[in-house]
Structure 1
């Protein structure tokens, strides 16, 4: 298994209130980049997780655990949401589906 695909875990942070100016700061994104193994989700796993076939579903494996909170995953130019995750002893796997 090759861990050669860049995966970005993105967290959304809303702007905080500045009492001196009376304005809110701009919203920002905090990105954490790791490398992982990305493959299509097999049919048996899709039936188990979704109850049927779902287009755009991927299985991701990373070598360590992702302990930071995140809202979405970005691979290439596509955004994904986590449908199922599993923490193993030294690795973590995600089953994700594409969002618009």
Structure 2
């Protein structure tokens, strides 16, 4: 298994309220880059997680546990949401689906 794909764990912070204008400031996205093994999700795993086949589903393996909170994952220009996470003894895996 090659850990050769950069993935970015994104944390979204909502903007503060500005009482002078009555609007909220833009949200801020902070990213943490990790190297991971990224592959298409197998059909058996899709049956377990989604109850059927789903387009745009990937499986991501990290060599270590990622302990910081995050909202979504970016790979290249695509954004993914985590549908299932599994922590093994030293590794962590995610089944993710693309946000449209």
What root-mean-square deviation, in Å, do the aligned CA atoms of Structure 1 and Structure 2 show?
A: 1.8
The unaligned stretches of length 5 or more in structure 2 are none
Instruction: Tell me the matched-pair count.
Output: 100
Question: Which residue matches 1:81?
Answer: 81
Deviations 1:15-38 (A, max 9, x none): 23578xx97554211101100000
Change (3 A) 1:23 1:64: same
What runs of 5+ residues in structure 1 fail to find an aligned partner?
Answer: none
- Equivalent in the alignment of 1:33: 33
Moved over 6 A (4+): none
Q: Find out whether 1:45 has 2:45 as its counterpart.
A: yes
Report the alpha carbon displacement of residue 86 of structure 1 after superposing the two structures with TM. 0.2
Q: TM-score, normalised by structure 1?
A: 0.90
Distance 1:98 1:25 in 2: 27
Report the TM-score, using the length of structure 2 for normalisation.
Answer: 0.90
Deviation per residue, 1:42-74 (Å, 9 max, x gap): 101100110000000000000111111111100
Partner of 2:99: 99
